[in-house]
Amino acid sequence: MKKIMMVFLTVFTMLGLLAGCSSNNSSESGSAEGKGVTLTLLHRWPNEPFKGYFDAAIKEFQKEHPEVNFNVISVLNEDYKQKINVQLSSDTPPDIFFTWAGEYGNKFIRDGQALDLTDYAPEGGKWEDTVIPSTLKPFMSEEKVYGAPILMDVRMMAYNKEIFEKLNIAPPQTWNEFMEVLKTIKKEDITPLGLGNKAPWNGGLYMTSLNQRIVAPEVLAADNNRLTGTFTDPGYVKALEKLQELVPYMNEHPNALSREEERSLFVNGQIAIMPLHTIEFPYVKDAQFEWGTFNFPTIEGGKGKESVVTGAPEGFMVSSKTKHPELAAEFLRFLTSQKMAEKWVETTDVISTTKGAVTKENASPIMVDVIKEVEESDDMVIWLDTALEGKIFQPYLSGIQELLNGEKTPEQVMKDVQKAATEVRESAK
């Protein structure tokens, strides 16, 4: 008798194990069907004021669609970049997910992860009717829309007005003026320029601006395409040399400081100028002094666009595996609507990509200027680390770190990048 009991027990344990491994799928879908629908939203803002905006937006949306429940997952930048890959490969990917523009978002489109939203456009029209076309373009592929931009993040040079006034200098417009300004500030024993490059994307974004000024736009566009990228243009080396020129004016040990520490230095008045994203403006609110922004200086003799702003739209895509495409698209239509876009600008002080959302009443003059430029331009210069794919930007970014440490020359850095680009080109064929 005992023996039989034992046999039964063992068998049950084993069955239990197997059952435990396979039952989660069915239970999950069951609960979703029970009461209304659940949409999973993955965004990259666990911090205020952005988190608050999305929470409020969801509540607002639920007023019109009470049957919809939201499961919100929010993770900060670096963690988001990894989480998204894992989540999308699972059987239950988030219905709506955040993405940057450029190769970063293109790979989702290419691999069929993003739903074609063309037919889900706002009532009786096209997405272009509500969204600024130049910001929609990075989310399009072969005339089809795969995502909706929500915001436009712009990288400006922020400067400490007090220091500038004390030294009687004006915000520079050209590279030579910029160097003069840096020299003047350095004489006063203040660190002129900040760079916290521990997470190497920061240095990469300096290069985004520099490349954009020095390299011709059509060359940049070809190099940002994984099928045609070569990075053999001498402008890239020149751009890295320009970065080297800045090193003596930066804080010491740029690779040892984080972006947050760089920001704190600026807020404490210890550095006079730092590149600041519009999306970071809320973080420097505590500064005890007045600060302003200027556009990255134009470079004499550069082949790039003279005064274009460095910035890129960011937005959301809908997973191609979603069970509720209509509702997910409805949420994106809702987010890009005039009403919500204005609310976005009010709550976050970040530029919205919806037409007419940024007005003189609700936004700073800088934002109004920037949005005018965006509306007029037909293309965007996208961040180096989202415009390119990992295989290329990884050696690029680590090369920049080594350049800052004086361990590599611009030529060596570009050689590594060219090698990676060749590999990518061949594998993309």
- Candidates 380, 399, 414, 417; binder of another protein (CB under 8 A) is 399
SS3 125: coil
The H-or-E segment that residue 71 falls in is strand 68-74
256 binds another protein (CB under 8 A): yes
Nearer to another protein, 379 or 407 (CB): 407
81 binds another protein (CB under 8 A): yes
Q: 86, 51, 48, 99: which is closest to 72 by C-alpha? A: 51
Does 46 bind another protein (CB under 8 A)? Our answer is no
- What are the strands, taking DSSP E only, across 19-146? 37-43, 68-74, 96-100, 140-141, 144-145
d(CA 147, CA 121): 11
Determine the Cα–Cα distance for residues 80 and 201; give it in Å rounded to an integer.
14
Element (H, E) at 334: helix 325-335
Q: Restricting to residues 96-155, name those near another protein by CB under 8 A.
A: 107-108, 111-113
Interface residue with another protein, options 94, 122, 254, 410 (CB under 8 A): 254
Among 6-14, 29-37, 48-56, 213-221, the segment contacting another protein (CB under 8 A): 6-14
| C-beta closer to another protein: residue 273 or 299 | 273
Residue 404 within binding range of another protein, rule CB under 8 A: yes
Confirm or reject binding of residue 21 to another protein (CB under 8 A): yes
CB nearer to another protein: give 51 or 83.
83
Tokens standing for residue 176: 């030579």
In single-letter form, the type of residue at position 1 comes to M
The nearer residue to another protein, 57 or 193, going by C-beta atoms, is 193
* Unique residue bearing structure tokens 């993770």: 75
Radius of gyration of the chain (CA): 24
d(CA 46, CA 44): 6
**Side chain identity at 176, as an amino acid letter?**
N
* Residue the block writes with tokens 């007029």: 376
Size of the site for another protein (CB under 8 A): 46
Residue 68 sits in the site that holds another protein (CB under 8 A): no
For another protein, which is the closer residue by CB, 9 or 170? 9
In the set 1, 3, 24, 306, which binds another protein (CB under 8 A)? 3
Minimum distance, C-beta of residue 16 to another protein, in the bound complex (Å):
9
Identify which of residues 85 and 174 has a Cβ nearer to another protein in the complex: 85
391 scored as a contact of another protein (CB under 8 A): yes
Lookup: tokens for 239: 């751009």
Q: Does 19 engage in binding with another protein (CB under 8 A)?
A: no
What whole-number distance in Å separates Cα of residue 93 and Cα of residue 319? 7
Tally of residues, the chain: 429
Q: Is the peptide bond before 49 cis (omega within 30 degrees of 0)?
A: yes
Residues of this chain that interact with another protein (CB under 8 A) are 3, 6-7, 10, 13-14, 17, 21, 81-82, 85-86, 88-89, 107-108, 111-113, 197-200, 251-258, 261, 265, 389-391, 394, 398-399, 401-402, 404-405, 407-408, 427
